[in-house]
Structure 1
Amino acid sequence: MRPAPAIGDNSRMPTYAYRCRECTGTFELQRPMSESSAPATCPDGHADTVKLLTTIALTGSANSPAPVSAPSGGCCGGGCGCG
């Protein structure tokens, strides 16, 4: 079992991506979910920023079994109704 993160440890906080409307640069911030909608200032000091929608990758641990994929589509793969 992994020990609880130390106070001030950001390793378990979500990362949010932002785009600055003034300089068009993108940047990321790690912050608690409770602050996810709080305004963010870009690294160049501009305050006109917008949070970007991002996708996340969910992965299992090294000890979890690999996911099993079910057959789909194709003849006799369940999609055509012949099987």
Structure 2
Amino acid sequence: MPRYDFRCRACGDTFEVTRPMRAAAEPATCPSGHTDTVKLLTTVALATGGRGGQPASGPVGGGCCGGACGCG
């Protein structure tokens, strides 16, 4: 289930709420009970291939069709 970050406008606390995607736009109450909160835009870092976030090395198909036509 996705987690969403919120910030309370009353006390400044930042907190997470875990809820289904269908409920993503619903308001959230901060842990101190305040209801004046705003959902924060969060980013997700994805590593592709390799270890430690480094790109995978080695032969990779190229060109418009993965190298099958000889263009890459």
For residue 18 of structure 1, what is the aligned residue in structure 2? Answer: 6
TM-score when scaled to structure 1? 0.57
Q: How does 1:1-83 map to 2 (within 5 A)?
A: 13-59=1-47, 65-66=49-50, 67-68=55-56
TM-score when scaled to structure 2? 0.65
Instruction: Note the aligned Cα RMSD (angstroms).
Output: 1.7
Could you list the runs of 5+ residues in structure 1 that have no partner in the other structure?
1-12, 70-83
Could you list the runs of 5+ residues in structure 2 that have no partner in the other structure?
58-72
Aligned length: 53
CA separation in 2, counterparts of 1:18 and 1:59?
25
